[in-house]
A and B are shown apart, each in its own frame.
Chain A
Amino acid sequence: DAGVIQSPRHEVTEMGQEVTLRCKPISGHNSLFWYRQTMMRGLELLIYFNNNVPIDDSGMPEDRFSAKMPNASFSTLKIQPSEPRDSAVYFCASSGDLANTQYFGPGTRLTVL
């Protein structure tokens, strides 16, 4: 069975541009999580969804960040406008059990110049 799929794997953009990251969770999983990882701050939870509904977006750093989950098999994380301090690896994870066992995608490495 396919794991969590993320695209693109690498993104290089210039400051001020819009960036859209995509995620396809594991089929049958009903919870989806977006994380950001940097050397300085480690793994940070940005937002999570349950049954396509955003449950907690308190980790979203600013209004420049937004996330959607229009259906059970697709989610996006958008940054508009992007800034150099947004450079990080962004992970999507999904879970399908009551214990909240999370499985991570390969990540998107974002570089904002």
Chain B
Amino acid sequence: QKEVEQNSGPLSVPEGAIASLNCTYSDRGSQSFFWYRQYSGKSPELIMFIYSNGDKEDGRFTAQLNKASQYVSLLIRDSQPSDSATYLCAVYTGGFKTIFGAGTRLFVKA
């Protein structure tokens, strides 16, 4: 069974701090890795994708991938109350199939 695991949270951080969200996956053949943000009552919104080992930065967001450890993370710098949402980790394992984690709820305290 191919799986994607996330801590359900909630993860609570003060405004301005770094939020660190983590995800592990079971299929070593996984090819692409995504982070989606989902506000309550809204649809998942793609915020980051990463294909290669290492870090990828986009504004306040940094995605980190370690294929040897089967680990993906998302760092949010200078966290804002507007970042409060559920963050879904998604892993593409091939054959048009992407597996989503259950999500981590992030709460940024003003």
Instruction: Compute how far the CA of A102 lies from the CA of B88 in the bound complex, rounded to whole angstroms.
Output: 13
B43 and A100 contacting across the interface, CB-CB below 8 Å: no
- Is residue B61 within 8 Å, beta carbon to beta carbon, of the partner chain? no
Residues 30-48 of B contacting A (Cβ, < 8 Å) = 31-32, 34, 36, 42-46
Beta-carbon contact of B43 and A107 below 8 Å: yes
A contact residues around B71 at 8 Å (CB): none
Residues of B within 8 A of A99 (CB): 31-32, 49, 51, 92
Contacts of B11-59 to chain A: CB distance below 8 A: 31-32, 34, 36, 42-46, 49, 51
A42 to B32, CA, bound (A): 21
B43 and A105 contact, CB distance less than 8 A = yes
Q: Give how many A residues have a beta carbon under 8 Å from the other chain's beta carbons.
A: 20
The minimal Cβ–Cβ distance linking A54 to chain B, given in whole angstroms, is: 11
Whether the Cβ atoms of B45 and A104 lie closer than 8 Å is yes
Q: Given A99-B92, A101-B32, A101-B34, A42–B100 Cβ distance below 8 Å?
A: yes
Known A-B contacts A43-B88, A101-B34; A50 and B96 likewise in contact (beta carbons under 8 Å):
yes
| Cβ-defined contact, B43 with A104, below 8 A | yes
Contact, CB under 8 Å: A42 / B102:
yes
B20 CB, nearest partner CB in chain A, Å: 21
Residue with the highest number of chain A CB atoms closer than 10 Å, among B32, B43, B92, B97: B43
B98 within 8 A of A: yes
Contact of A91 (CB < 8 Å), options: B44, B90, B98: B44
Contacting residue for A48 out of B51, B97, B100, CB 8 A:
B97
Q: Chain A residues with Cβ under 8 A from B49's Cβ?
A: 99, 101
The residues of A that contact B92 with a CB separation of less than 8 Å are: 99-100
Closest to A41 in B: B102
In the complex the two chains form, what is the Cα distance from A106 to B98 in whole Å? 19
Contacting pair B46 A103 (CB below 8 A): yes
List 20 A–B pairs whose Cβ atoms lie within 8 Å, in order of A's numbering. Answer: A31-B96, A42-B100, A42-B102, A43-B44, A43-B88, A55-B96, A56-B96, A91-B44, A99-B32, A99-B49, A99-B51, A99-B92, A100-B97, A101-B49, A102-B34, A102-B90, A103-B46, A104-B44, A104-B45, A107-B42
